[in-house]
């Protein structure tokens, strides 16, 4: 059987049509603008890491690790070199360096491996001066009920693929060889669908593609080595399914400001219609001022970031792995999160239980982190 036909069969068997996740997202009945077939491999080398502005794959794992010796930056460089070598192969459907099961590498299904560094990775004297100024904990928010077990780590690896077997194989390739030099703190597994577990269409409003250079990618103006990288805010947000389901459908729509059937704003009829926050009916705002979109909507041009929500479902716990990418989280993300903490109707059913901030490395020419150590 040829490679292509075998891959088509495999993805077909997973319920995906053709090769693309765009088509899978279209399965929710939405006219997604990105519903083009996607090639099944993503580049590993390039100006930016794949897996950040890439149309979302259906499965993802975020791996949080601490360095056993933070003062040893050569050890960190060694880890990044090794991961780069493996990821360069695995993303192209080739076996990893010490792969005992190369068959599991043969269906990359848009595998991406993206690495970020937390504040603790900048402890060694050689790296201390290279930490971006925004790489610090978010302010404490009144809604937070943060659990240490989902907290900040020194390193994060975001692995994503349309095939959960490929993903599992890659996660193994990343974690197994670094066990003597790192401590695995958490793996957050999620899936992307186009809807979240509250049934809401999620991920509609995003920065325009032609604003990525300005809003997402770092230009190196503060830390030269970060040019082409970005920041990741990773929040784990529990969603209370029992109390949400107790609310009637209209109440659920008012809390968000959008309809459940196609995600249109309450002032419109299609998902991508612009919400009209000033519209009233009988003197009452059609989109309540306390609704999630009224509170979250940008109030200045800088208050924009790329949202990549993955669902997690570990019964009885469900929620979102909320990943937000932006050039500067302090300027772009924090004001929005503060408004949501102050008043957001959704807070009644959602609780942030994990929070971490990372510097996502620029893309690799030779290996990830080369500009940091260069
Ligand atoms: C929009 C759900 C947490 C920021 C939305 C939408 C939904 C949603 C359904 C409307 C569709 C869309 O544009 O994607 C949720 C749920 C959350 C959550 C269930 C928690 C469990 C957050 C957090 C932030 C955030 C933590 C950032 C601090 C936004 C923004 C928009 C949005 C900026 C677009 C607002 C607009 O301009 O219309 N969210 N969200 N959300 N959300 Fe969330």
pLDDT of residue 329: 98
Do 64 and 185 meet the contact criterion of CB atoms below 8 Å apart?
yes
In terms of phi and psi (left: phi > 0; alpha: psi -120 to 50; beta: otherwise), the region of 55 is beta
Residue 82 to residue 140: CA distance in whole angstroms: 36
pLDDT at 37: 58
31 alpha carbon – ligand 1 mean position (Å): 20
Measuring from each residue's beta carbon to the nearest atom of ligand 1, which residues come in under 6 Å? 196, 198, 200-205, 235, 237, 239, 256, 258, 263, 275, 292-293, 296-298, 307, 320, 322, 336-337, 340, 346, 350
- Cis status, amide bond into 316, omega within 30 of 0: yes
**How sure is the predictor about 84, in pLDDT bands with cuts at 50, 70 and 90?**
very high
The whole-number pLDDT of residue 20 equals: 36
Checking ipTM against 0.90, whether it exceeds it is: yes
Residue nearest to atom 15 of ligand 1 (CA): 202
pLDDT tier at 374, thresholds 50, 70, 90? confident
Atom of ligand 1 lying closest to residue 202 CA: 14
Q: Rounded to the nearest whole angstrom, what is the distance from the C-alpha of residue 305 to the centroid of ligand 1?
A: 11
Q: pTM (2 decimals)? A: 0.91
- The Å distance, Cα 230 to ligand 1 centre, comes to 20
Q: Residue 216's closest CA among 307, 134, 117?
A: 307
Closest CA to 252 of 206, 200, 301, 297: 200
> Which residue among 188, 193, 293 has the greatest number of ligand 1 atoms within 8 angstroms of its CB, and so is best to mutate?
293
**Largest Cα–Cα distance in the chain?**
68
Contacts 24+ apart (CB under 8 A), 212-219: 212/53, 212/306, 214/327, 215/302, 215/304, 215/305, 215/306, 215/326, 215/327, 215/332, 216/52, 216/53, 216/305, 216/306, 216/325, 216/326, 216/327, 217/48, 217/327, 218/132, 218/327, 218/362, 219/327
Q: What's residue 179's pLDDT?
A: 96
The alpha helices in the chain, defined as continuous H runs, are 3-13, 21-26, 73-90, 125-128, 164-175, 212-215, 241-245, 249-256, 292-296, 329-332, 334-342, 370-373
Residue 340 CA, ligand 1 centroid: distance in Å: 9
Banded model confidence at residue 36, pLDDT cuts 50, 70, 90: low
Contact 55, 46 (CB under 8 A): no
Ligand 1: which residue has its CA nearest to atom 33? Answer: 296
Q: What is the pLDDT of residues 5-24, one digit of tens each?
A: 333 333 333 333 333 333 33
Q: Helix and strand tally (H, E) in the chain?
A: 12, 10
Question: What's the rounded mean pLDDT across residues 250-258?
Answer: 98
Nearest CA to ligand 1 atom 4: 296
**296 CA → ligand 1 middle, Å:** 7
Number of neighbouring beta carbons within 10 Å of residue 281: 9
- Residue-by-residue DSSP string for 152-173: --SEEEEEEES-HHHHHHHHHH
Question: What was the pLDDT predicted at 39?
Answer: 66
**What's the pLDDT tens digit per position in 341-373?**
999 999 999 999 999 999 999 999 999 999 999
Instruction: Round the average pLDDT of the chain to a whole number and report it.
Output: 91
């Amino acid at each position: 059987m040829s490679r292509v036909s075998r891959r088509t069969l495999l993805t077909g068997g997973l319920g995906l049509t053709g090769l693309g996740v765009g088509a899978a997202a279209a399965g929710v009945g939405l006219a997604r603008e990105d519903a083009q077939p996607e090639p099944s491999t993503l580049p590993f080398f390039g100006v930016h890491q794949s897996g950040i502005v890439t149309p979302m794959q259906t499965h993802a794992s975020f791996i949080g690790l601490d360095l056993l010796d933070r003062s040893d930056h050569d050890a960190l460089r060694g880890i990044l070199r090794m991961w780069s070598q493996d990821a360069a192969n695995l993303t192209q459907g080739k076996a990893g360096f010490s792969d005992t099961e190369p068959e599991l590498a043969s269906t990359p299904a848009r595998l991406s491996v993206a690495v970020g560094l937390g504040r603790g990775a900048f402890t060694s004297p050689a790296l201390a001066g290279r930490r971006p100024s925004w790489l610090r904990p978010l302010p404490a928010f009144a809604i937070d009920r943060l659990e240490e077990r989902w907290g900040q780590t020194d390193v994060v690896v975001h692995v994503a693929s349309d095939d959960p077997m490929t993903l599992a194989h890659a996660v193994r390739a990343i974690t197994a060889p670094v066990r003597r030099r790192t401590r695995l703190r958490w793996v957050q597994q999620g899936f992307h669908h186009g809807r979240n577990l509250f049934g809401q269409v999620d991920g509609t409003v995003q920065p325009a593609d032609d604003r990525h250079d300005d809003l997402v990618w770092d230009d190196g103006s503060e830390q030269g080595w970060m040019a082409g990288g970005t920041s990741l805010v990773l929040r784990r947000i529990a969603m209370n399914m029992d109390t949400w389901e107790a609310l009637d459908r209209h109440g659920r729509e008012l809390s968000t400001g959008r309809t459940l059937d196609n995600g249109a704003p309450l002032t419109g009829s299609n998902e991508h219609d612009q919400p009209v926050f000033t519209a009233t009916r009988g003197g009452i705002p059609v989109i309540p001022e306390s609704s999630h979109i009224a509170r979250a909507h940008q109030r200045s041009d800088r208050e924009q970031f790329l949202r990549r929500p993955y669902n997690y479902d570990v019964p009885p716990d469900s929620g979102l792995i909320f990943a937000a990418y932006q050039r500067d989280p302090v300027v772009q993300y924090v004001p929005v999160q503060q408004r949501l903490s102050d008043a957001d109707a959704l807070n009644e059913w959602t609780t942030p239980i994990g929070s971490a901030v990372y510097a996502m490395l620029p893309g690799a020419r030779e290996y990830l982190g080369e500009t940091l150590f260069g």
